[in-house]
Structure 1
């Protein structure tokens, strides 16, 4: 068995304690309490580290004690509470306050439709939901779909109105976060010492390729272990006051881990942005002297193509960490040329992780020399490259990445079969991604064994869209694949559907258009079939009935090339 180890020095065993204890007790004295923790880029609101600790302990007390006194459902240790919010100053308070209360927090995409939210709520058996005022209507529609009365919904909704002016217009008769936070404070957080650190504290949903999204169980121990392994990989700042621009969604594991939790541990202030556009991004860099940010490839492409970078002072920027999807060499080269032309000394580095674990980060010193690499294996992790036959591949050959280490997830919620298929008895997590490693220990992603489509960093499960398409009364079969858009630097979901009866060419086009509108009304924006819909006679399948996606991908590639050739002649 060939086991690769990290080139970084191993750290001492991580403390077996709660994530909150790790951040606000064990490492509390690492940084000055009066320094900013989070800054709202859209308002003058700032919350210091000390204020963050106070606010989260107040919320923890409110959730465990005051919520039920005000008519809400009682919440006890281990109960699941969903957070449904866009990026805002509310988010870190809600997340860390819920963890301090000993609750299990499930992060819901702010792009969820009522249907999406209903599935997650039901699957994780949530008892309550902390919802931002701007998304209250979606939560109420979810409860309607579940035949839960408005009176009962009010017992389960906590309006996440912390530092939110909009809440005054929508509060009505709902229990508000601000109300339950002003009734007292926990003297200390709920403890999870020793074996109790193996209890689940975070439930993130990772879309699967063979069914509905799966709840990924992250324990206190796995989160502490993951965070504890990061410092040896972190770049060294030139600035004495580093600040991160927090614009990746906080409900995504990249936002929750790398922006909210890691930056609190690191002592860096996070400037919160609720969304991305090139001008706002660059203005925030200039205004707040941003040193670093987590991004996804479409953001990088927009920065390269838009003139905003030359219209603002970007010289404070030291690095951008690109994650959630692969970064092409051509885009990296274009970024390098742009920042060099502007006299900005900023690196563009890649990392690698999944909802289930983290593992790799490229040192900033190597961002040009090792372009395309995801970097070095993190401290305390082990890796293997395994062939389809289950044997370790020869050095230099590609293989499926198996990881073992302190940050690996516990399992998939209520899905023993999927957990056993992904985690071996001796603790190896089968990532489903094909990687290589060079003689210097630098890793690169070659392909995804998994069939997930990644649209601008969002995960889109083909099986989920196929299941929806089969609900259409005129569709008898469907297959969904991703096609690469060079213009948008992302994958686009593309569907192949079989009509219940033969259609002529003109009718096929009209039907495809109608199906697109039908799907758009039922899915979140990132799940829309932006890659097109094609009516075919049959979906290629194996004898066992499995969709042969490679054939569909090859067909899509030929169709896209043909369309480009026709367009170029016009």
Structure 2
């Protein structure tokens, strides 16, 4: 048995309310906590604290009697990023309720699953999404009059409209005199219910506790990824994803870092915000790194204040990192680019490349965080525990154990049992290698044939701006063949011979079993989630449709 320990010293892990933890620091009340990028509107820490307690009061006393939320009840947020997000989220937490965060791109059918599965009582909703929610309520047999009572418009400038309360109606009506306590064993109560995307079946609700989150924030402190009073963070990742809500909202409040909120990512807006607000740091995903390599906005705005970005949620190839640093250096920005790793089920971060050595450890996801353990497993026993670990320098499935591992999947004990062993190890499903210095590299998914490194190789092609690779079934060989979907820098004006040219080009750079025998397909864009993960299922559906069309011919 080989169990890896963090090179960092263990840190003290408090058992208390998440709200109390993030507001406990010595940071000055007048320090700007959040700034809305489009408008410049700012919330100080004292304003944020007061407004969250007003939301907590409103949840208990202002909502209609049937929708009022108490400790343990679930409240949904269904909105793109805005200045209202930290107010509402931390208000729900102060109230002792659980927040379930819904993807703002959901259809009514997708929203229905999360709403019903989570048992949400009320939805804080962006005004533009009301129609989606009303359709969802209609699908489950709730009248429109009743449905409107279950909604609160999540916009700081909006009051009640058409029978729906506005956030402004909850504010100024009173303030909770104290937050709900979660000391001792009470810290094991659920605070967040994010839904994992999953590769099969419906998304599963991940129960993340107060203790999970205060532990995660505590073990991030020694890494010093940001510095209070010095760094300005740009938040463009969606807050409904655990990466966004923890690393770009809770983390910043806890450590006193001013954060500029963008409603969504757009290269022009991203670069403009860096210039306007003197942004120094941003936690992002690989598609944003690609945008910085190719988009002309990088040349249009002053990017010199940006000194550090950290990428997560999906693999980032070393060649893309090098290209991004070179592009930004051309406009006078000297930047370090690091990576991190984690999952919704681990709250989310387990590994980070230290900021000081980011440019020296390109291609790895970094060191294991304090208070966590890891192992690389190559064989399991029938009871789900590990039978054999990988030897040093060899790959194995990464298992993680520690205080940040989720409580379990909501309403799904079978899935929980399958994911977490009796001795507490969470099986990530990712294949990793850990070097002699403790740095981890993620090299594959356990059940995927095609390695992401093939995508990284494709992105080295001077005319490819994005790429994704899937396996397509070849019945004649009883195996999968690699197929690439690529975006040409000139879009539809790409030469007709380009797919064949790419197939020949890559054969000079990879082993034979990675040749693109499944073909190369030109696409306008690679489908990705807001968190930057390639939506391979959509590409597999596309491949299946193409195959069916050929069969009919």
- TM-score, L = length of structure 1: 0.78
Take 2:91 and 2:488, find their aligned partners in 1: how far apart are those partners? 38
**CA separation in 2, counterparts of 1:365 and 1:348?**
10
Residue 26 of structure 2 corresponds to residue 35 of structure 1? no
Residues in 2 aligned to 1:210 and 1:341: alpha-carbon distance in whole angstroms: 43
Taking a change above 3 Å as real, the CA distance of residues 263 and 452 of structure 1, as seen in their structure-2 partners, is farther
Aligned to 1:119: 113
Q: Is 2:308 the partner of 1:319? A: yes
In the TM superposition, what whole-angstrom CA distance separates every residue of 1:253-275 from its partner, at most 9, and x where no partner exists?
A: 11000000001111111101112
CA contact (8 A) 2:229 2:256 kept: no
Query: Does structure 1 conserve the Cα–Cα contact (< 8 Å) formed by 2:205 and 2:409?
Result: yes
Q: Is the contact made by 2:204 and 2:409 (CA closer than 8 Å) also made in structure 1? A: yes
Determine if contact 1:435/1:445 at 8 Å carries over to the other structure. Answer: yes
DSSP-derived class of the 2:109 partner: helix
Q: Give distance in 1, aligned partners of 2:301 and 2:482.
A: 36
Match of 1:362 among 353, 359, 362: 353
Q: Which segments of 5 or more consecutive residues in structure 1 lack a partner in the other structure?
A: 463-479, 490-524, 539-570
Q: How much does 1:31 deviate? A: 0.7
* Structure 2 unmatched ranges of 5 or more: 381-386, 456-467, 471-479, 490-533, 549-553
Query: Structure 1 pair 178/452, CA: closer, same or farther in 2 (3 Å)?
Result: farther
Q: Does 1:96 align with 2:90?
A: yes
Q: Which moved more, 1:334-343 or 1:92-101?
A: 334-343
Q: CA deviation at 1:23?
A: 1.2
TM-score normalised by length of structure 2: 0.81
**1:336-376, CA deviations, whole angstroms, 9 ceiling, x for partnerless residues?**
21123223121111100100112111122322322100011
- Match of residue 283 from structure 1: 272
* In 1: Cα distance, 2:482 partner to 2:234 partner: 30
- Say whether 1:329 aligns with 2:318: yes
- Please name the residue that 1:204 is paired with: 194
Partner of 1:534: 544
> Secondary structure at the residue paired with 1:274?
coil
Map Cα deviations across residues 366-406 of structure 1 (whole Å, 9 max, x no partner): 22322100011101111011003431111111001111111
Q: Distance in 1 between matches of 2:213 and 2:88?
A: 17
Distance 1:331 1:75, change over 3 A: same
* Alignment partner, residue 130 of structure 1: 124
Name the CA distance, whole Å, in 2 between partners of 1:308 and 1:270: 21
Cα pair distance change 1:272/1:526, threshold 3 Å: farther
Kindly state the Cα deviation for residue 435 of structure 1 after the two structures are TM-superposed: 0.3
Aligned residue for 1:17? 16
**Matched position secondary structure for 1:350:** strand
- Residue 452 of structure 1: CA displacement? 12
SS of match in other structure, 1:229: helix
Q: 1:216·1:355 contact (CA, 8 Å) conserved in 2?
A: yes
Q: Is the 8 A contact 2:379 2:389 kept in 1?
A: no
Q: Post-superposition shift, 1:172?
A: 2.1
Distance in 2 separating the partners of 1:35 and 1:537: 58
Q: Structure 1 pair 80/399, CA: closer, same or farther in 2 (3 Å)? A: same
Mapped to 1, the partners of 2:304 and 2:198 lie a distance apart of 41
User: Would the alpha carbon gap of residues 236 and 112 (structure 1) be closer, same or farther in structure 2, given more than 3 Å must change?
Assistant: closer
Q: How far off its partner does 1:528 sit?
A: 8.5
Task: Specify whether residues 535 and 338 from structure 1 end up closer, same or farther in structure 2 by C-alpha distance, changes over 3 A only.
Answer: closer
Q: How does 1:62-73 map to 2 (within 5 A)?
A: 62-68=58-64, 72-73=66-67
The question of whether the paired residues in 2 share the 8 Å contact of 1:159 and 1:175 is answered with: yes
SS of residue in 1 equivalent to 2:398: strand
**Distance (Å, rounded) in 2 between the aligned partners of 1:254 and 1:416:** 24
Report the 3-state secondary structure (helix = DSSP H, G, I; strand = E; otherwise coil) of the residue aligned with 2:123.
strand
Structure 1 position 142 matched with structure 2 position 136: yes
Q: Are 2:369 and 1:375 equivalent residues in the alignment? A: no
Alignment of 1:298-313 (within 5 A): 298-313=287-302
Structure 1 residue 448: Cα displacement = 1.2
Match of 1:57 among 53, 56, 77: 53
Separation (CA, whole Å) in 2 of partners of 1:240 and 1:212: 43
Deviates more, 1:108-117 or 1:379-388: 379-388
What's 2:74 paired with?
80
The DSSP-based 3-state class of the residue aligned with 1:230 is helix
Counterparts of 1:527 and 1:361, CA distance in 2 = 26
Counterpart position of 2:148: 154
- Give the CA deviation at 1:155: 2.1
| d(CA) in 2 for partners of 1:133, 1:147 | 22
1:46 aligns with 2:37: no
Q: Distance in 2 between matches of 1:252 and 1:485?
A: 26
Match of 2:501?
A: none
